[in-house]
Structure 1
């Protein structure tokens, strides 16, 4: 079995929403949410991130524009270029303009039904109406005495846009009851104001609420306006005479209200308008506006969820649904196609977790590993589908406090959970029927349950059909009360309770044959127990800090196979991770430490076995996942995709995928691509060998065009230099060629931008050496003659590269100038030698003649001559004498 050395993040589950404004376009395809300081544009069907910007948001119903308001009081208007192809949607935001919106932060923003006007309400009590395409203000509406908290446009069918004036105007109409273009606004002064956008005047100040107004909506015909407040009352206003028509005491602090269009929902006996509300009670409620009675009814357990609350409800006609946005950053899609005329709550057809908070633990579920369970710093356990992780497949409700630990049985149909409510639960997972039910609960610990384990060995006597539905026979739990309990499934009382450690128990694992279990504690020890008797059989000591994780090795692997000594019982081993930043491998034969793996820079929080026991994966507080070779003790690879502690780590049963979850609310699925990388590397090496052979053939055949192009493609600086050197030294040089060969000049002049960038970088390097500077200067001459300045400046060559070429070129030219000056000295010396030849030089050899010449040079005061007499004779005088 080959070791795993390469992993690729195949799927990443990231946060989507952390509170604030949520918008969905009319088609139901584009979801816009706020994530911390960013705005995310997401495909609502697939969860694919389409764009990420900064600020707070409002979006037009047609998704044509995106308006972002930031804390700096600025407002940016983007055009969303939406492109839909087969099975793919893409968005390209284009900034149209940026303006200063208000002198205080923008609190709410609302677009009109046509997507042409935008209203913004600020903390300064001012309401502004903007022309989205033009980017200018059409109305400044003053009158509120507090922070603007709600707004809603009304557009009658007989109103059209007057583009010249940048505002709305009405056509002639005979209907005296028809109202014009209106805007309703609410603020924390508890007043609802209605503005006529044709005259920019406030036509009514409606006073009936006793608290901040949080929701406003118009009826489809414009004859009714509803307002909801935190005073637990919905007011219904007659828009003709602008007076209070009635009040509905809903007994709930409201955050949003709305009126469904006529015929949207089919309820027996109800023909009038239907009102939907959402608030502190955390459920979508429907009311009959004509009778003032609630249609929906509360279910058992709804009161326990009031702490979450609804912050907004979006009505989407194309999806025939209501989308509720909750305080716990979840988005629920409620169907309006009711199965019963008197429903309890609206049926939830889809759940999206905008933010999973801190991932504390996770486990694969079902035999096919099609689901994954997440413990997310919440009392609920979220079940995600691997194929569609954007929507939750289900939620396990039952715990009264945060769930800390998870474990699955051998089949994946059963999940055990333990939490801060001092309670353990066993859940049955039925993926075919999308059913997740609580099978049994176990209470008895005095403090939080931080560790839980289920048996690993499948029963052999039952059939496959019966085994997957049979519950595990036992559960082992460990708690902050420092005790361990073993429970028989179906029994309410623990079979035994043992005082196990001196500090909190962090992890428990059961051996593959169900004969023993291990417990890891903050007291820096790991204890090995017999499962049935609950007696300690060994203690592992050696860690210098608390132990966070313990895992039994697969039963098939032996200590000898990983470098240890063969022992009894298959040479069993466990691996542990500790706060001392180390991973340790232990033998259960003599309870000794076989190996210590060091490399993490923070606490090791989780350890799992890989590759049938040949490797170990560990995750730490440094945000890294490391994979270790157990035999050599070396780190095979480090996986980095988290920005916070990686608390959770699990391996898919087929050993091909490693999944990690961290405190940054990110879940990463790492797929093993070792074989793929090896095959790709082998193909690349084979192709490189073939290309190198082709390069040698081109050089041998003097095919400089092909050779230079291939050398640039392969990025071989040495061979490229040898090619150019051979060309420059070719004699005689072709007429009109700068490099020496016209073909080479032509090749250099027809390079792509990438090849030209590589060549310029090579010229830069060659130009730094006096031995290769001549080649660099000659080739650079060709480049400058063949290419424009704009083309050269557009290359992927930074400014320092051009500065280096210029600096060394100036240095070379300075040396050339110095040599020219010295050449005059040589000329003078040669003239003196001519005169000596005319005199009597019999009896003088070359060295004596050189000495006489040098004496005359020094007599004239020329001291810059740098050659020694012998060097001067060897290089110059000897050639002169041979020619005379």
Structure 2
């Protein structure tokens, strides 16, 4: 698509937002979907393509947060418990609300479990009670006693014939009750800290539990004793028993009675154990989840297993969901449940197939735009502040963080895997912005809170060798007196521009960092600087809510764009330097025409500061991201809308000609349809009058024969006619036919009932006028009759 024309409108192609913000997460039995708790709704994520369906948010004006939820094993039913103390039963297939009933727990319900057939439910609350529910009648059948403190796990024995439900709470014990009688059958004691997981082996005899006391315990449910207490030397947040038929990444111990278990905890890695012998059989070496920084804290929040595909799912404390194959333990999928505050974004890869996103974490999230599958790039030790890429090599990525370092990344053209190839630590404070050269990959520049501008030399061999090369800063200058917010390299690689909190922007030589000029004029800090792609012009944006254009030759201000109501955080040139797209602290994106200095359009999708903005090479798309954790992909639809408007104009001209021809030929029924299509109320009025005068057609049959769309338009025309005393009779005739013969329920629009209320005052006025007219007519007739009577009487007297 040609990028030379001026753009006027953009449409949202896709929006990527948080689908998991903490709480429970469950995996469908078929392995295709993840059910994730997300504040006041459940996000149903399709793993293959990353699409998200929201379930549970019925009223947008009322926030009724979900405390806990559970799904039946076959996925037919979903149960949610809300802040309003309500249980809600949903259809898992149609995603419709089936039933709502009041919870009788004293406080939020923290854990829910459903039986395999979905007919019974167990709920555990923060009040320490466990209740059993009959979902057929939605009544509580048992209140189970014995737990102390907040109930964090409720779990049905997978063999329903055993008729046992388990629960754990703050007393560190595992309690088991008979679901028919409600009587306690067992209490398993062995943990000395919170129990974090409980699963039962397929033989129905053995069970596995984990806790934050750094042990796994294998239980015999028949004898009600612990068979082995296995120290694992880390707090375990998730564990499960692996089916004997599952393929493992290591050879199994050839014993029929072996019980295998997987666990994950504060170290962020998965370990596989043979529980009876207490041996560790497998230790994950390709973990993408960093270990917890503090002892006894969390790294993994959930450990999931899907038997159908033999896959393992790890959920990190950063809400990242990593799916591994159990047989080879290869990372199959990476999903980002919560993007967090988006600080910077750039396109990456040949054909700009990927999007690198820097969020309020130490990891770079690399999205594949077609599937939104995410690759997490680990290496930084603190929050990443800036990303940079180059048109010369889209496989190269530069990043900087709060820990004073910059990293160089390279994407493999075939595998699309990104690795860090170089590291540089020369700044003495957080590195706020980086920029690569544009024509040739020879250098990059960085700016920091140490007020310095550095020029870095790039390695000659840009390939991944397995080790990180040290980057060298070949030149350094003290560029500003305050924090430097932005740096950019000119399209010809000869100039560098910086913008700072000291309210100035400066121009530098890319050869030796010699200062060439200072741009003064902003009243507050300069947040972004950009070179025009074709002119000797620099654009700057500022916290003073303005954008300024500066001449690189004269160093004077050429234009100032005013109209923003908050800080202009980011901007990019479009249409060969004829337009600018900017983002602000109020969440608005504005498109500016440089020639007229006017804002052409305002785009509103974000509800908070838009920190980042990037445009693809041919300017057909751009992406925005901000502090609302929302990533929005926009598409230029200017030409499409112009073509559509032109086609509509041509069609309108043809229809108007057809209307004139039909009126000339007295084809009134066809003319009526055309006039309604063209939305010409007065033409419709004259055609209705002509049909009535013609008298050879039943008006009711004609109106009932129209399409619902035309009937709605005719009703709207009648509402207009009804405002005029000359045309109200026809209006009342049409309205009467539509209301009595067709009915509003058969029309498509739902807002017609409200609009009909607007005709009532006019109808009352017409009714009063007609009533007064009839009264006057009767009085006149009465007077005439009296006069005739008097005249007759007078003649009689004379005779």
TM-score by length of 1: 0.82
- Go from structure 1 to structure 2 and tell me whether the alpha carbon gap of 1:408 and 1:776 turns closer, same or farther (over 3 Å shift): same
Which of 488, 507, 528 is 2:486 aligned to?
Answer: 507
SS of equivalent residue, structure 2 residue 423: strand
Equivalent-residue separation in structure 1 for 2:728 and 2:127 (angstroms): 69
Q: Give, in whole Å, the separation in 2 of the partners of 1:415 and 1:795.
A: 51
Cα deviation per residue 1:357-395 (whole Å; 9 max; x = unaligned)?
Answer: 011001111231011100011111111111111x21x22
- 1:539 shift after superposition: 1.0
Counterpart CA distance in 2 for 1:312 and 1:824 is: 87
Q: CA deviation at 1:795?
A: 6.3
**3-state secondary structure, aligned to 1:305:** coil
Structure 1, unaligned stretches of length 5 or more?
Answer: 82-90, 160-169, 171-179, 339-345, 459-471, 559-571, 735-740, 839-884
Over aligned residue pairs, what C-alpha RMSD do you find? 2.5
Q: Following the alignment from structure 1 to structure 2, what is the Cα–Cα distance between the partners of residues 193 and 621? A: 53
Matched residue, 2:185: 203
TM-aligned CA deviation for residue 800 of structure 1: 4.7
> Is the CA contact 2:289–2:316 (under 8 Å) kept in the aligned structure 1?
no
The answer for the alignment partner of 2:274 in structure 1 is 288
Deviations 1:89-110 (A, max 9, x none): xx43242343425222111112
1:879 aligns with: none
Which has more radius of gyration? 1
- The answer to whether the 8 Å contact 2:228/2:275 transfers is no
Q: After TM superposition, list the pairs within 5 Å mapping 1:229-378 onto structure 2.
A: 229-266=211-248, 267-271=250-254, 272-297=258-283, 299=285, 305-307=291-293, 309-338=299-328, 346-378=329-361
Distance 1:818 1:332 in 2: 80
Q: Distance in 2 between matches of 1:79 and 1:363?
A: 41
Q: Deviations over 1:50-69 (max 9, x none)?
A: 33214232111211011111
For residues 396 and 124 of structure 1, do their structure 2 counterparts lie closer, same or farther at Cα, with a shift above 3 Å needed?
same
Please give the secondary structure, in 2, of the residue aligned with 1:678. helix
Match of 2:499 among 517, 520, 525: 520
Distance 2:208 2:790 in 1: 120
Matches within 5 A, 1:761-772: 761-772=716-727
Contact 2:228–2:276 (8 Å) recurs in 1: no
> CA 1:215–1:829 in structure 2 vs 1: closer, same or farther (change >3 Å)?
closer
Give the 3 Å change call, closer, same or farther, for CA 265–693 of structure 1 in structure 2: same
For residue 433 of structure 2, what is the aligned residue in structure 1?
Answer: 451
Query: Could you tell me whether the CA contact under 8 Å between 2:173 and 2:187 is conserved in 1?
Result: yes
1:8 maps to which residue? 11
Find the counterpart in structure 1 of residue 667 from structure 2: 703
* 1:478 and 1:507 in contact (8 A); partners too: yes
State the Cα distance separating 1:479 from its structure 2 match. 0.6
Residues of 2 paired with 1:154 and 1:837: CA distance? 108
Cα distance in 1 for residues equivalent to 2:228 and 2:750: 71
* Deviation by residue 1:146-192 (Cα, 9 ceiling, x = unmatched): 21122322233xx5xxxxxxxxxx5xxxxxxxxx2322221111111
Shift of 1:790: 6.5
- Label 1:777 to 1:336 Cα distance change in 2 as closer, same or farther (>3 A): closer
C-alpha contact (below 8 Å) 2:41/2:54 kept by paired residues: no
Distance 2:350 2:149 in 1: 58
Residue 295 of structure 1 aligns to a residue whose secondary structure is strand
Q: 1:72 aligns with which of 84, 88, 98?
A: 84
Q: Give the Cα–Cα distance (whole angstroms) in 1 for the partners of residues 744 and 318 of structure 2.
A: 58
CA distance in 2, matches of 1:331, 1:50: 17
Name the structure, 1 or 2, with higher relative contact order (CA <8 Å, separation 6+). Answer: 2
Checking the alignment, whether the CA contact within 8 Å between 1:761 and 1:797 is kept in structure 2 is no
Asked if 2 retains the 8 angstrom alpha-carbon contact of 1:51 and 1:93, the reply is no
Rounded to whole Å, the distance in 1 between the matches of 2:326 and 2:584 is: 46
Task: Tell me the residue number matched to 1:142.
Answer: 145
Q: Note if contact 2:289-2:299 (Cα within 8 Å) is conserved in structure 1.
A: no
Alpha-carbon displacement from aligned partner over 1:748-803 (angstroms, at most 9, x marks no partner): 233344333332232222222222223323434544564458668x9645445333
Q: Is the 8 A contact 2:191 2:213 kept in 1?
A: yes
Say if 1:265 and 1:829 are closer, same or farther in 2 by CA, change over 3 A: closer
Picking from 370, 377, 401, the partner of 1:396 is 377
Structure 2 counterpart of 1:814, from 750, 754, 768 = 768
Secondary structure at the counterpart of residue 688 of structure 2: helix
SS at match of 2:245: coil
- Is 1:724 the counterpart of 2:678? The answer is no
1:481 maps onto 2:471 in alignment: no
Unaligned runs of 5+ in 2: 58-65, 460-469, 793-799
Q: C-alpha distance in 2, partners of 1:368/1:302? A: 27
Structure 2 residue 90 is the aligned partner of structure 1 residue 111:
no
**125, 130, 143: which one pairs with 1:127?**
130
Determine whether 1:756 maps to 2:711.
yes
Question: Is the 2:290–2:299 contact (alpha carbons within 8 Å) kept by the matching residues of 1?
Answer: no
1:110/1:611 Cα in 2 relative to 1: closer, same or farther (>3 Å)?
A: same
1:30 to 22, 28, 33: 33
Equivalent residue for 2:462?
A: none
Matches of 1:797 and 1:704, distance apart in 2: 29
Name the structure 2 match of 1:533.
Answer: 512
